[in-house]
Amino acid sequence: MIHRQTLSQLAAALRARKVSSVELVRTYLARIEASQPALNAFVSITAEHALAAAEAADRALAAGRGGPLEGVPIGHKDLFCTAGVRTTCGSRMLENFVSPYDATVVTRLRAAGAVMLGKLNMDEFAMGSSNETSHFGPVRNPWNTALVPGGSSGGSAAAVAARLLPAATATDTGGSIRQPAAFCGITGIKPTYGRVSRYGMIAFASSLDQGGVLAASAEDAAWLLREMAGFDPRDSTSVDAPVPDYPAGLDAPLAGMKIGLLKEFFDTGLDPQYERCVREALAVFERLGATLCEVSLPNISLSVPVYYVVAPAECSSNLARYDGVRFGHRCADARDLQDLYKRSRSEGFGAEVKRRIMTGTYVLSAGYYDAYYLKAQRARRLISAEFARAFGEVDLLMGPTTPTVAFALGAKTADPITMYLNDIYTIGANLAGLPAMSIPCGFAAGLPAGLQIIGPHFAEQRLLQAAHRYQLETDWHVRLPEQYA
């Protein structure tokens, strides 16, 4: 069963010529096609491109050449620009937008030999926690199609959970990798801000956006991240620091590692069954030689309000370029310039995007800037400082990824605030720019629960190591939804 193999196993099998890339691509394409009516994980399926790339990969492998991921199928969240293949950002605004260039992440993964099978569905412009804001329809959770997969990287998460792909790229601005990873029972890592280039990754909130990975295991995530990470001169916020060989460090023991439990994450609103899964996972870490202690971040409760000032502020400016002039949706028969702007944007953007543009415009306006934007920035620094203090005492912080398991489609769409509160545990890492993961840690009421692991800046290696050691002891990450097993 090809689809039950991990990405690292597939890479090895390809190199050993036990399987061809064309074979893999055909297998996964078939799974994708079959799943599409139920899951809607893909916006674009690029079968022809993929088969051509797979043939080229097979030739390279036959000649003993090729990168570490040569011939391995992957998919990209549909906000990574791909030359020649449309990049929609889940929006009507970019429904027909074909980028003339590749995102750095796309270029790097292709250089490593990965073969793209398609572009993955997402919340519109990555704004959402349930994948219900996509112009291309909601993605459904492979564990139960009445439920959301989480968002905004819902397509990437559903595709990996149903093994329509061994792994996929994703992005995380306030939890958009970790929350869907938790809801879909897979492994996701949001690296340190600046670790992965944002060039060609369509911006939602520039100071928070970070590209990362959704995969079946920490080991697979390590394989992919090694190829994606690294300095990019085209992104001034990318950090010029060497990229460790993540897979090589996975097996190091955890003995002596200090793990802090995020006190506030257990205090309120956490589903009791979910909490039991998390506590059991923590016990596993203890058995592995780590020591646990409680850590308090008194201002972490400010995360959601701070986020919903900073992110909309940046988005209101980032999305100003969609004006109907050079690319993207343009209204028909514009009477004049104002009409062109108003109708192109009114028609091109969905309700949640508009809500955030308006919020962001408001908080940056004269007379409100100090009260909202500046105050939020101060609170953000406060939260960062609390994390920094915590990492003076512990090596990693752990807690639940979300307060509950996946919820039903439509359950939270009427009330944006309850939807926003779903990201209450994940936003802190974005505000502080910290690397964070979610790994499957059991089932609450039959649905996957996620353990969140947060580390200090550039501690991806440590996160992956802890996650990998845990996954050697547990099998939550290899369990698949029945229909996709």
Partner 1 sequence: MSAWETVIGLEIHAQLATRSKIFSGAATAYGAAPNTQACLVDLGYPGVLPVLNAEAVRMAVRFGLAIGARIARQSVFARKNYFYPDLPKGYQISQYELPIVAAGSIDIVLEDGSVKRIGVTRAHLEEDAGKSLHEGLGALTGIDLNRAGTPLIEIVSEPEMRSAKEAVAYMKKVHTLVRYLEICDGNMQEGSFRCDANVSVRPLGSDQFGTRAEIKNINSFRYVEKAIQYEVARQIELIESGGKVIQETRLYDPDRGETRSMRSKEEANDYRYFPDPDLLPLELDEADIEAIRAGLPELPDAKASRFVSQYGLSAYDAGVLTASRDLADYYEAVVHAVPQQPKLAANWVMGDLAAVLNKEGLEIGSGRLPAERLAGLLVRIADQTLSGKLAKEVFESMWSSGQSADAVIEAKGLKQITDTSAIEQAIEAVMAKNPAQLAEYRGGKDKLFGFFVGQVMKATQGKANPAQLNDLLKKKLSG
CA distance 305 to 139: 27
Which one of the spans 171-179, 184-192, 256-264, 319-327 is the region binding partner 1 (CB under 8 A)? Answer: 319-327
Q: Does residue 87 touch partner 1 according to CB under 8 A?
A: yes
Q: Does residue 423 touch partner 1 according to CB under 8 A?
A: no
Quick one: 241 or 421, whose CB is closer to partner 1? 241
* Among 266, 327, 420, 443, contact with partner 1 (rule: CB under 8 A): 327
- CB distance 409 to 138 below 8 Å: yes
Active-site positions read 77, 152, 176
* Among 30, 62, 320, 351, contact with partner 1 (rule: CB under 8 A): 320
CB of residue 342 vs partner 1: minimum separation in angstroms? 10
x/- map, 372-411, partner 1, by CB under 8 A: -x--------------------------------------
* Among 1, 255, 332, 366, contact with partner 1 (rule: CB under 8 A): 366
x/- map, 41-80, partner 1, by CB under 8 A: --------------------------------------xx
CB of residue 151 vs partner 1: minimum separation in angstroms? 19
Q: Does residue 314 touch partner 1 according to CB under 8 A?
A: yes
Q: Does residue 371 touch partner 1 according to CB under 8 A?
A: no
CB of residue 1 vs partner 1: minimum separation in angstroms? 37
Contacts to partner 1 by CB under 8 A? 79-81, 87, 89, 94, 97, 99-101, 103, 198-203, 205-207, 233-237, 313-314, 316-317, 319-321, 323, 325-328, 337, 341, 361, 364-366, 369, 373
